[in-house]
Structure 1
Amino acid sequence: MKRIQICADDYGFDAAISQGILECIDAGRISATGCMVLSPAWPNWASALRERKGMADYGLHLDLNEFAPYAEGRSLGLWIGCSYLRKLDIGVAGSWVNQQLDAFESAMQSAPDFVDGHQHLHQLPVIREALLAALIERYGQRCALRSTRASSWRGSKAAVIEFLGAGALRQRARAAGLRMNSDFAGVYGFSPAADYGQLVGDWLASMADGGLLMTHPGRSAGTETRPDAIRPARARERAFWLSAEAGELLASLGVQLGLCEDWPQA
């Protein structure tokens, strides 16, 4: 048996996504979710996670480029460029991080179990330094941190994401004594032609104990917040996780749902 955390990103984005994630938690198919605390829908959905305390890990999905007021006019590429050219002020970045940690704690009445980043911006230069400083000051070594480093080849898109900062983030997290997932999977192109069940099977079969599988389940309904480019893929992922096929796959591969406490130190 191996323990793999299956983590749903984007909780709180809107009602459809939040409902879909809750269904997957209730079905025992995922074991973590990252929360978008700047979304206007978040205050309506935090209580549902508090009611499910102990059923999964709940973390901060650090958002710099979706609902954040400072996201306007900054594409993903521009965030990457500003970070690598160090045009971001680390003090300002630290205030962004702490604002979102404050919002998480206020709504959840607890510290986050982990932090990751929307579109993985948490691992970029300047942002990662500000994030690590905030986590260490607030929680010591108690809060885990997502790594995008994979233990084997999982496609060019996954490789690009890892290249953008996984190594440097892990090095700094190791120095701080923080826990990180030992393996990472779940990256694909969200194409309707993709066989999501087959992808999950391949990922889980190749993943190491203490790894993390990222997923994006959600209902297919409309949104009350922002346009969601991957809504059809979310619906397909939700349908898979709620299916008998998913349960049979986990059992056949000897996968148990893991938590951050299973992760080793970076």
Structure 2
Amino acid sequence: MKHIQICADDYGFDAAISQGILECIDAGRISATGCMVLSPAWPQWAPALRERQGLADYGLHLDLNEFAPYAEGRSLSGWIAASYLRRLDAGAAGIWVNQQLDAFESALRESPAFVDGHQHLHQLPIIREALLAAVSRRYGKSCALRSTRALGWRGAKARVIESLGALALRRGARSAGLRMNSDFAGVYDFSPAADYSELVSDWLATLADGGLLMTHPGRAGGTETRPDAIRPARERERAFWLSAAAGELLASQGVQLGLCEDWPLA
């Protein structure tokens, strides 16, 4: 038996995504979700997580480039370039992180079990330093951080994501005495041609104990907030996790849904 955290990203993005994630929590198929506290839909959907406290870990899905007021006009590649060229203001980055942590605590009336980042921006230079400082000051060693480091080859896209800051974030987390997932999976191209059940089977078979499988389940339907480029993939992922096949796969591979408390120290 190995403990694998299955974490749904983007809770609070809109109604369809939030409902889909809640269904997966209620079905006992995921054990964590990351929350987008700047979304206009977040206040409506935060109470449903409070009602389910104890069923999953709840964390902050740090958002710099979706609903954030400072996101306008800067693409994902623009954020990456600005951080590596040291063109982001460190003081402003600290304010952004702390404001989102404040919003999480205010809505859920608890501190986050972990922090990760929308499109993994939490691991970029300047942002990661601000995040490490805020987490250490506010929570000591009780809040974990997501690592994008994979212990084995899981595709070129996964390796590129890892190369953008996983090692440096782990070094910072180690210095601060924080927990991180030991392994990471869930990255793919969201293509309709992808066999999601086969991907999950491969990921679960190769993930180490204390690892994390990232997923993006959501219901069908329009969005009341922002365009959602991966809605079809979300629908396929939700359908898989709510299927009998998903439960059978977890059992056959000896996987127990894990929490941040199962993660080792960085």
TM range (shorter): over 0.9
Alpha-carbon distance in structure 2 between the residues aligned to 1:227 and 1:25: 24
1:196 — aligned with what?
196
Q: Note the 1:1-266 alignment, pairs <5 A.
A: 1-266=1-266
Q: CA deviation at 1:264?
A: 0.5
Gaps of 5+ in 2: none
Alpha-carbon distance in structure 1 between the residues aligned to 2:221 and 2:160: 31
Alpha-carbon distance in structure 1 between the residues aligned to 2:248 and 2:125: 41
Alpha-carbon distance in structure 2 between the residues aligned to 1:132 and 1:221: 37
Runs of 4+ in 1 over 3 A off after TM superposition: none
Alpha-carbon distance in structure 1 between the residues aligned to 2:197 and 2:30: 15
Q: CA deviation at 1:157?
A: 0.1
Give aligned-pair identity as a percent.
83
Q: CA deviation at 1:180?
A: 0.1
Q: Secondary structure at the match of 2:70?
A: helix
Q: CA deviation at 1:7?
A: 0.0
Gaps of 5+ in 1: none
Q: CA RMSD in A?
A: 0.3
Matched residue count: 266
Report the residue type matching 2:122 in the other structure: H
Q: CA deviation at 1:40?
A: 0.0
Alpha-carbon distance in structure 2 between the residues aligned to 1:220 and 1:202: 26
Q: CA deviation at 1:53?
A: 0.2
Alpha-carbon distance in structure 2 between the residues aligned to 1:162 and 1:261: 23
Q: CA deviation at 1:125?
A: 0.1
Q: CA deviation at 1:63?
A: 0.1
Provide TM-score, normalisation by structure 1.
1.00
Q: Secondary structure at the match of 2:249?
A: helix
Alpha-carbon distance in structure 2 between the residues aligned to 1:13 and 1:182: 27
Alpha-carbon distance in structure 2 between the residues aligned to 1:238 and 1:18: 11
**Which deviations, in whole Å up to 9, do the C-alpha atoms of 1:69-109 show, x marking residues without a partner?**
00000000000000000101111000000000000000000
**Which deviations, in whole Å up to 9, do the C-alpha atoms of 1:47-66 show, x marking residues without a partner?**
00000000000000000000
Q: Secondary structure at the match of 1:226?
A: coil
